[in-house]
Amino acid sequence: MSESPNLEATSLIMVQFLAWVADRPRSYAGTMEAWRTNCPRMPIWENAVSDGLVTLEGGGSMRARKVASHIALAAIMQRADGSGECFGVFG
């Protein structure tokens, strides 16, 4: 990856999304089913892609491609509140 992901404004919902992606392999279809929204105030997928936090990998149909995270979740958690604590999301 040539550019560093944008971690300046990592929201709690983005941390939750990235934790969900990191939990196990996810398909684009499954990700859209779980996270797609028409709310212009919550464009989680679009923000994650534009900030370089996730990409699609593999070939075949769009829905069969895999979602890949390109940054360690620990780095996002550290950046989220400066302490490394993740707002209680992970226990």
| Strands 26-27 vs 54-57: parallel, antiparallel or unpaired | unpaired
Whole-model pTM?
0.65
The answer as to whether 89 is a domain residue is: no
pLDDT number for residue 2: 45
The answer as to whether 59 is a domain residue is: yes
Domain span at 61: 12-80
88: left (phi over 0), alpha (psi -120 to 50) or beta: left
CA 76 to chain centre: 10
Please give the chain's pLDDT, 91 residues, in tens.
445 555 555 678 888 898 899 888 899 999 998 988 777 777 888 888 888 888 888 888 888 899 988 766 666 666 555 554 444 444 3
The answer as to whether 91 is a domain residue is: no
CATH code, 42? 1.10.10
The answer as to whether 49 is a domain residue is: yes
Tokens 């990592």 sit on residue: 10
The answer as to whether 24 is a domain residue is: yes
Number of domains observed in the structure of the chain: 1
The answer as to whether 5 is a domain residue is: no
pLDDT number for residue 27: 92
Radius of gyration of the chain (CA): 13
**How far is Cα 51 from Cα 5, in angstroms, rounded to an integer?**
5
